[in-house]
Amino acid sequence: MVGVDGVEEHRDDPRWAVAERVAEAVRRRFPADVLAVAVHGPLAHGDDDGGGDGEVGLLVVTYRPGTGPPSATRRVDGVLVDLTVVAAEERLHQARQLTSRWPLTADRYVTTRALHDPTGWLPTMRDAHLGRLARARPAEFSTAARTAWYRGSAAHARAARLAEWYETDQALLMLGEARLAAATVHGLLSRTYYRDRGDAVRRTGLAGADMTEVAAVLARQSAELTARGRPVDGTIDDLLNN
């Protein structure tokens, strides 16, 4: 089976069929607006199990802001489709940002598979992101990691309080947030990005970490951030001077 613009797809994976149909519909309805259409996530990597239960991540890039279809999430023929629509300049701007969630977002800029890209715009997006990383100073990653650490520390403290109050379900949810934040800190400090949230906690060994283990990881990360020149704790003046 050959997909849009000659992309060879997996015949047995219903997600590819849905992705192709959505791409074709977008091009047909908005022929003057659409610059590129691509998949990201498991389908873009090409090594997913093809089980058909996962989400289809679709990116539609338009020439101008406010054109094309709206961003939306909907199940189509039993397949969940997450449609992101963004103008080219805005997407390039996003690709050049280094935020505290970079380990969870970078894969969308680096790994895509084109369903429609006649001008070769998708490699331009990838190169913009990789170029930003090449120019990034170590302090930028440390600053972003510190922000992620605060998020993890707050989630862990909240989880501990909820556990004391026997609010087990809520405590587990907050513990999950603390695990993810700690994994994000690790990604920033090591300049490692992940495919998704699950990949982040698996690759960092945090998937099954309990309250005590997450606390130990956050403590080690705090020490590393201090060693990099700026502790997580500070004075009021530190807060106001940032």
Helices (H), 67-203: 88-95, 102-110, 121-135, 138-164, 168-190, 197-203
CA torsion 87-113-50-80 (nearest 10°) is 10
How much of the chain, in percent, has pLDDT values that exceed 90? 84
Using one digit for the tens of pLDDT, what is the confidence trace for 91-146? 999 999 999 999 999 999 999 999 999 999 999 999 999 999 999 999 999 999 99
Using one digit for the tens of pLDDT, what is the confidence trace for 150-170? 999 999 999 999 999 999 999
Among 151, 137, 62, 63, smallest CA distance to 104 is for 151
| DSSP-derived 3-state class of residue 87 | strand
Distances (CA, A) of 168 to 89, 155, 174, 187, 217: 45, 14, 10, 29, 22
Rounded to 10°, the helix 168-190/138-164 angle is 170
Mean pLDDT across 182-202:
97
Mean pLDDT across 44-55:
66
Rounded Cα gap, residues 93 and 239, in angstroms: 28
- Residue 73 pairs with which residues in a beta bridge? 82
Using one digit for the tens of pLDDT, what is the confidence trace for 10-30? 547 889 999 999 999 999 999
Domain ranges of the chain: 4-135, 138-241
The mean pLDDT value of the chain amounts to 92
CATH topology for 4-135 is Beta Polymerase; domain 2 (3.30.460)
Using one digit for the tens of pLDDT, what is the confidence trace for 109-123? 999 999 999 999 999
Residue 155: count of CB within 10 angstroms of its CB: 22
